[in-house]
Amino acid sequence: MKKTLIALAFASALTSAAQAQDMVFTSWGGTTQDAQAAHWAAPFTEKGGPAVVQDGPTDYGKIKAMVEAGAVTWDVVDVEYDWALQAGKAGLLEPLDFAVIDKSKLDPRFVSDFAVGSFYYSFVLGWNPANFADAQPSTLADLFDTAKFPGKRTFYKWSAPGVIEAALLADGVAPDALYPLDLDRAFKKLDTIKADIIWWEGGAQSQQLLASGEAPIGFFWNGRISALQSDGMEVGVSWDQNITAADALVVPKGAKNKDAAMKFIAEATSAEGQAAFAAATGYAPINLGSADLMDPAVRATLPDAQTAVQVNADMAYWAEHRDEIGNRWYAWQAQ
């Protein structure tokens, strides 16, 4: 009996040790995280890295609580890039090891001491053509024109780059004059359609609202429009004044598998990993070498092929003013 107990204890210790070596990757879920698991985590483990456990969704409050309690269970987290800049300054993140992660190959717009781009995307005008037989929208101004294009509109619920800029652009502000954001003007413009807005909280919900016709026009992550098109749905999309933003990969301060986390980020941001992920999701790669590895026809559908009509959201501005904008944003929604 004693020998059996010892053997069981030894086996339990081995299992615990093995589990402790697993690396935890946290992201937003859905098809995006599925692609991250397939094209980043699986190759990382196949090349000799530890097993990668998927967790989520990303929760900024949880990251802060983990770090402050010294009980971090997430090793790499996919976050919004402006939040990453803010969190790095607040001491919530580990500095990245650029001896492991080759930042010289990455888009410099999405590289900081504490974060590198995960992928970048565009907010685009999308619509269900079945609801607009007489005329098809094409500009951000059309998104705010309920007389010409009636029906509910859908926008991203959370305070982040995109909707404020869209309101200002629709109101005639030039792209190079967006910052500092004129919040009074933006909210005045949003007031004109407030009663017609349905908020989406995640990408899958945005697709459902559009496909069902409940909100036949709105402002979407481009990858979600691409996914609907891939599934055979006819979707109208305009890249005119598409607004770019980015996700980023970060390591919470005190992560237990910091060395493995750095190697995972190196794999995730490799030319191959980024190219495969971009092809699967419709989001743009942040590795400058990925383009040469991709089918030109696929590349033509990504945000980095739309730079002539692109507006880059100012991530540094948002990082500095995120809380201020957020407070006003949620108060306005609640009114």
Taking a C-beta distance cutoff of 8 angstroms, is the pair 80, 160 a contact?
Answer: yes
- According to DSSP, the β-strands at 116-127 and 23-26 are unpaired
The whole-number pLDDT of residue 14 equals 36
Across the range 21-29, mean pLDDT stands at 93
Closest among 99, 97, 112, 93 to 251, alpha carbons compared: 93
**Residue 7 confidence (pLDDT) above 50:** no
Q: Which of 10-24, 58-72, 297-311 has the highest mean pLDDT?
A: 58-72
**Residue 12 confidence (pLDDT) above 80:** no
Taking a C-beta distance cutoff of 8 angstroms, is the pair 244, 303 a contact?
Answer: yes
**Residue 143 confidence (pLDDT) above 90:** yes
Dihedral sign, Cα of residue 154, residue 183, residue 108, residue 52: negative
Rounded-to-integer distance, Cα 265 and Cα 268, Å: 5
Long-range contacts of 62-71 (CB under 8 A, 24+ apart): 63/87, 63/92, 63/252, 64/92, 66/252, 66/254, 67/91, 67/92, 67/252, 67/253, 67/254, 70/254
**Scanning the structure block, which residue is given the tokens 């404020």?**
164
**What structural domains does the chain harbor?**
21-119+247-308 (3.40.190.10), 121-245+309-334 (3.40.190.10)
The whole-number pLDDT of residue 133 equals 87
Percentage of the chain beyond pLDDT 70 is 94
| 256: helix, strand or coil | coil
**Residue 242 confidence (pLDDT) above 70:** yes
In sequence order, what are the residues at sequence separation of 6 or more whose Cβ sits closer than 8 angstroms to the Cβ of residue 227? 31, 207, 281, 282
**Residue 156 confidence (pLDDT) above 50:** yes
Mean residue pLDDT of the chain comes to 93
Taking a C-beta distance cutoff of 8 angstroms, is the pair 101, 265 a contact?
Answer: yes
> How many CB atoms neighbour CB 11 within 10 A?
10
For the entire predicted model, the pTM comes to: 0.88
The whole-number pLDDT of residue 30 equals 83
What letter would DSSP give residue 235? -
Per-residue pLDDT reduced to its tens digit, 284-325:
999 999 999 999 999 999 998 999 999 999 999 999 999 999
The whole-number pLDDT of residue 21 equals 78
The whole-number pLDDT of residue 67 equals 98
What letter would DSSP give residue 215? S
C-alpha angle 130/135/140, rounded to 5°? Answer: 100
Per-residue pLDDT reduced to its tens digit, 206-222:
999 999 999 999 999 99
- Taking every pair of Cα atoms in the chain, the longest distance, rounded to a whole number of angstroms, is 82
**Scanning the structure block, which residue is given the tokens 């730079």?**
307
**Residue 106 confidence (pLDDT) above 70:** yes
